[in-house]
Amino acid sequence: MAPLILDGKTLSKKTEALLLEKSTELKAKYGFVPVLATILVGSDPASCTYVRMKKNACQRVGLDSMSVEMDESTTTEQLLAKIHELNRDSRVCGILLQHPVPRHIDEKACFEAIAPEKDVDGVNTATFGRMTMGSFAYKSATPYGIMSILEEYGIELEGKEAVVIGRSAILGKPVAMMLLNANATVTICHSKTKNLPEVVKRADIVVAAVGKPRFVKAEWIKDGAVLIDAGYNPGNVGDIDLENAAAKSSAYTPVPGGCGPMTIAMLMKNTMESAEKACKEASKK
Ligand code: NAP
């Protein structure tokens, strides 16, 4: 049987349509237009593109976006001061610091400075800890998108062997914790993992978050596995050799059109949720 294509593009559009309804409702009920603040330090072309895509998405779902563009020479102290200012701004419901920042900046300190109630990109330690322990937190956007795709297509996770390749703070680790919380049996692999092909061969669900084009080979894949390719490399190529591996799978996310569009949709979803909470809080006062 032909594998099921896990279409993140269509799901992202569906998600955005619901978010537009929500923002219209917030405007009508509370007269409030929520703001997502995006901070871009320097002028890295890829980062500029990502920020522009996020601003366009804000427009589509009825959020205002505030662009904070800072010079390449910005210091950690200056960036921290800006984040504190945005933390205090009641119109701002979400703060996104575009990654990566220039090397001389203490990125971790800046991520940590974002107030958890505005950490809609799920980047700080408190957010990760709360999510891992099953408490409320805004989930890191790409992992949240992956979990939403799995849910939309009814992919069963309980008791399944999930293998996550990659352990970054924004992708590998949080998606592993989310799969664990969904009762999958999770193995996290990284650059020091031994016998990676054999580990991947055990997986019912493979999540590739490596950052190397077509890194995961068809021979590593168990027949009928579900393939989640979070990778996005130059030339619109993912981290799984989907051309050859997809045929062995029961379902897979295409690249492009799988995990990518869902990341931005989830960022919007988190921001809208933060806005709704802020409106409800303000109306109590
Ligand atoms: P990252 O921070 O560079 O992490 C890569 C991970 O892959 C690391 O944990 C690394 O292990 C592991 N790795 C590297 N070589 C390996 C090997 N030979 N065997 C096994 N593991 C290996 O990357 P990231 O930020 O998580 O991104 C991963 C991919 O997802 C990239 O293609 C990126 O473009 C994509 N991405 C997509 C979205 C989206 O919106 N769709 C968002 C974010 C990222 P160590 O920890 O041992 O170094």
Can you give the pTM of this predicted structure?
A: 0.96
Sequence letter at residue 267: L
The pLDDT assigned to 32 comes to 86
The pLDDT assigned to 178 comes to 98
In tens digits, what is the pLDDT along the chain, a chain of 285 residues? Answer: 899 999 999 999 999 999 999 999 999 999 988 899 999 999 999 899 999 999 999 999 999 999 999 999 999 999 999 999 999 999 999 999 999 999 999 999 999 999 999 999 999 999 999 999 999 999 999 999 999 999 999 999 999 999 999 999 999 999 999 999 999 999 999 999 999 999 999 999 999 999 999 999 999 999 999 999 999 999 999 999 999 999 999 999 999 999 999 999 999 999 999 999 988 888 887
- Per DSSP, what are the bridge partners of residue 64? 35
Q: What is the 3-state secondary structure (H, E, C) of 115-168?
A: CHHHCCCCCCHHHHHHHHCCCCCCCCHHHHHHHHHHHHCCCCCCCCEEEEECCC
Q: Comparing C-alpha atoms, which of 114, 28, 124, 93 is closest to residue 277?
A: 93
SS3 36: strand
Take residue 79 and report the two structure tokens written for it. Answer: 């960036």
Phi, psi values for residue 45, rounded to 5°: -60, -40
Name the residue with the closest Cα to ligand 1, atom 42.
142
Clarify whether 54 is annotated catalytic: yes
The CA distance from 252 to 230, in Å, is 11
From 210, 229, 255, 268, mutation site for ligand 1 pocket: most ligand atoms within 8 A of C-beta: 210
The CA distance from 78 to 72, in Å, is 12
Clarify whether 59 is annotated catalytic: no
Q: What single DSSP character describes residue 73?
A: T
Angle at the Cα of 151 (from 156 to 53), degrees rounded to 5?
A: 140
Is the distance from the beta carbon of residue 277 to the nearest atom of ligand 1 less than 6 Å?
A: no
Nearest ligand 1 atom to alpha carbon 165: 21
Is the distance from the beta carbon of residue 195 to the nearest atom of ligand 1 less than 6 Å?
A: no
Is the distance from the beta carbon of residue 140 to the nearest atom of ligand 1 less than 6 Å?
A: no
What is the spatial order of strands in the sheet that 35-41 belongs to? 64-70, 35-41, 92-97
Name the residue with the closest Cα to ligand 1, atom 25.
168
Is the distance from the beta carbon of residue 233 to the nearest atom of ligand 1 less than 6 Å?
A: yes
The CA distance from 207 to 25, in Å, is 36
d(CA 130, ligand 1 centre) in Å? 23
d(CA 216, ligand 1 centre) in Å? 12
Is the distance from the beta carbon of residue 216 to the nearest atom of ligand 1 less than 6 Å?
A: no
Residues in the chain, total: 285
Q: Where are the alpha helices (DSSP H) in 189-258?
A: 196-201, 242-245
Phi-psi region of 274 (alpha: psi -120 to 50; beta: other; left: phi over 0): alpha
Is the distance from the beta carbon of residue 263 to the nearest atom of ligand 1 less than 6 Å?
A: yes
| 81 Cβ contact partners less than 8 Å away, ≥ 6 residues apart | none
